[in-house]
Structure 1
Amino acid sequence: MRLKIAILGVAHYHANFWACAFLERPEVQVVGVWDASETAAAEFAARHGLDVAQDLPGLIRQSHAVAICSATSDHLALVEAAAAAGRPVLCEKPLGIDRAQCDAIADVVARKGIRFMQSFPKRFDPANHEIARLLKEKALGRVTLCRVRHGHSHGLAEAFRSAWFVDPARSGGGTLLDEGVHAADFLRWMFGEPETAYATLSSTLGLPVEDTAVATFRYADGMIAEVTTSWCFAGADTSIEIYGTEGSILLSGVDIASRPTREADFLRVFRRGEAEGWSALPVVPSFKTGVFHEHVAWAFVDALKNGGPMPVTIEDGRRAFAMIDAAYRAAASGSAQPIAR
């Protein structure tokens, strides 16, 4: 029997990647598309050869699981609709527009006992798994600093500047939330939970939300992590820098700004010792290959088929949001803020 998946909401462009990924799997059937905008749903469905559904509860009942790729503000209502029918959910990042919505989504998922996966595509990048291996092996010694630069140039386009991403009521925030939540999840995955956050924000384009931001996170052992995000990067190279007492890691080609920059040597490692110097590891980031967000959809399908745990959980979504929320509070107060547990 084919796995029937419904796509709920197409406001986020990543819905296109998910649809293509689902359609590539012969064991999956996309049973329909629903969006609050019938025009958007119709255009999306025509693009991918899918059916449009106007009856949301009916579409959910026809499915075995749902994939939510709406504007962030609509996540809660769509999760509630899916949970009412007991359907597993794949949800676009960030989890919600604020802590209250994140907590409400977590409460619905827990009360209804549905399976839930948060979309964090960096979890499936082979370059990041290589970094995780190096850190587990203590190849860098004691890590003292990690810098993550993540962003794109979409803010330089009028279409983006007038889209729902810049409306805080629908998005929850600007680039710090939109792009920074990726970095927050990466930091949690690699190093665990930081204790405090500090941040500064700027809207260089005069948007209702920030288009450039820098946040710093401090860990109990003294490690500092810096997250720099922007919608105004015309171009860039290194995206991740990790510095330790015995070595360093540089990673390129893992965001839109850096994807065109280089064709080789994406992951570079420096080691102290007899053979001191830099070396490049033979790994190509998924983002560079052009197949990135699809891995989230495929992982969701695999977890549903195999019955195992979801590879990225709702708690991962809540904790990454908590880091960004603390950074926003710090920017507003002008002082470091604790990260809510």
Structure 2
Amino acid sequence: MTRRRIGILGFAHYHANFWTRAFKAAPDIALMGFWEAYDGLADAARAEHGIDRWTERDGLIAACDGLAICSATADHEGLIAAVARRRGKWVLCEKPLATSVEAGARIAALAEDAGLTVMQSFPKRFDPINAEIRAVLASGALGRITLVRVRHGHSHGLDPSFGAQWFCDPALSGGGTLIDEGIHAADFLRWCFGEPESVSATIASPLRLRVEDSAVASFVYANGMIAEVATSWSFAAADHSIEIYGTGGTLLLSGVDIASRPTRETGFLSIFEREGPRKGWRTSPTVPGFKTGLFHEQVASAFVKALVTGAPVPVTIADGRRAFAMIDAAYRSARSGRREAIDYEG
């Protein structure tokens, strides 16, 4: 079988390193190289991975079947526009899709007009521990779910140099921890429970960064379920990352964000059932991919599988836009001080 050719556009986001390793390990893929506008990032990527740097971006695009975009978020639209000029390409795009609802809509239009197949990077969908959570929910063991809490973040904001990175420049990132970390939680909620109707949110920057470094958003569903999302760049340590409470039981998960990864070595997922043959607590033997170090690589591997087989991508551009709509509504709520409806149609 002829190997499919992949190129990487941008190394601004650290996840490009995980993707590169996955692409290099895939037997059906020829990693053609990468394009990066900034010499410092390019030199680091070349030293780390030993792959070719292309100075002509459009030349790399033309040479490839698939492109992986891992630039600063504000650059996603321009890079997808460049790919769209070649038509029919496959694209893996880092999260979030864009810095605004309007930019996301333009990206979707570009992709449709040029016949691009775009996969959004939402790695929680590929962690086996989250597949197990979905199976527990589908079994009905927890009864009717009433409250969900997702805590997701890291402590990079405590590093004095972090404030100088592009993540903290609103023109490049579109926001702070709410969009950077909260987008993971938004997609997880959509994937497991469907789409909430409204949100109330508060954001703050106790670290005095140019964007918020702490945020809490409370999403409400049509059936009355509440889902609380707490994100921060100053989580020095933590344990439970996901809590799910239902009329029939409780589910607790640790080890799926940077703050909670070193907390424990076993017993990451605990499930409690109030009644029935499995009454009481039990602990799953499954180890999260985030703990084992195979997390972001799984996104790249899923993209490779779709590219090689021609199967539909498992996470679509529509998924990216609808998760972003949840975060956009949370920002609107933080500005207005009111609960805001979520506009999924943009």
Aligned to 1:315: 318
Distance 1:158 1:66 in 2: 33
Which of 155, 166, 172 in structure 2 is aligned with 1:170?
172
Q: How many residues align?
A: 341
Q: Please identify runs of 4+ aligned residues in structure 1 that moved more than 2 A.
A: none
State the secondary structure of the residue aligned to 2:111: helix
Aligned equivalents of 2:82, 2:39: Cα separation in 1: 18
Which residue is 1:280 aligned to? 283
Q: Which amino acid aligns with 2:221?
A: Y
- Cα deviation for residue 2 of structure 1 reads 1.4
In the alignment, which residue of structure 2 is the partner of 1:303?
306
1:187 is aligned to 189
Moved more, 196-205 or 80-89: 80-89
Q: Helix, strand or coil: the match of 2:196?
A: coil
Aligned to 2:36: 35
Unaligned runs of 5+ in 2: none
CA–CA separation in structure 2 for the residues paired with 1:157 and 1:331: 26
Match of 1:122 in 2: 124
Aligned partner of residue 158 in structure 1, secondary structure: coil
Amino acid at match of 2:57: L
Q: Taking every aligned residue pair, what percent have the same amino acid on both sides?
A: 59
What is the identity, as a one-letter code, of the residue corresponding to 1:99?
A: V
**RMSD of aligned residue pairs (Cα, Å):** 0.9
Q: Could you list the per-position Cα deviations for residues 221-261 of structure 1 after superposition, in whole angstroms to 9, with x for gaps in the alignment?
A: 00000000000000000000000000110000000000000
1:159 aligned partner, one-letter code: S
Cα distance in 1, alignment partners of residues 29 and 312 from structure 2:
19
* 1:25-52 deviations in Å (ceiling 9; x for gaps): 1221111111121332232122101111
Equivalent residue runs for 1:216-231 within 5 Å:
216-231=218-233
Which residue of the other structure, out of 102, 105, 115, is the alignment partner of 2:104? 102
The answer as to whether partners of 2:123 and 2:296 remain within 8 angstroms in 1 is: yes
Stretches of structure 1 that go unaligned for 5 or more consecutive residues are none
- 2:329 aligned with 1:326, yes or no? yes
Instruction: Please tell me the residue identity of whatever aligns with 1:223.
Output: M
Q: How high is the TM-score relative to the length of structure 2?
A: 0.97
Deviation at 1:120, TM superposition (A): 0.3
CA contact (8 A) 2:333 2:339 kept: yes
- Structure 2 distance, partners of 1:238, 1:330, is 26
- Alignment of 1:211 with 2:174, yes or no, is no
Match 2:203 to one of 201, 211, 231? 201
2:115 is the counterpart of 1:90: no
Counterpart-to-counterpart distance in 2, 1:64 and 1:315: 22
Q: Does residue 160 of structure 2 align to residue 158 of structure 1?
A: yes
d(CA) in 2 for partners of 1:39, 1:276: 56
Letter in 2 for 1:11: A
One-letter amino acid matched to 1:160: F
1:260 aligns with 2:262: yes
Amino acid corresponding to residue 7 of structure 2 in structure 1:
A
For 1:209, what is the secondary structure of its paired residue?
coil
Contact kept? 2:149, 2:242, Cα under 8 Å: yes
2:294 corresponds to which residue?
Answer: 291
- 1:276 CA displacement: 2.9
Instruction: Indicate the residue corresponding to 1:4 in structure 2.
Output: 5
Distance 1:105 1:160 in 2: 29
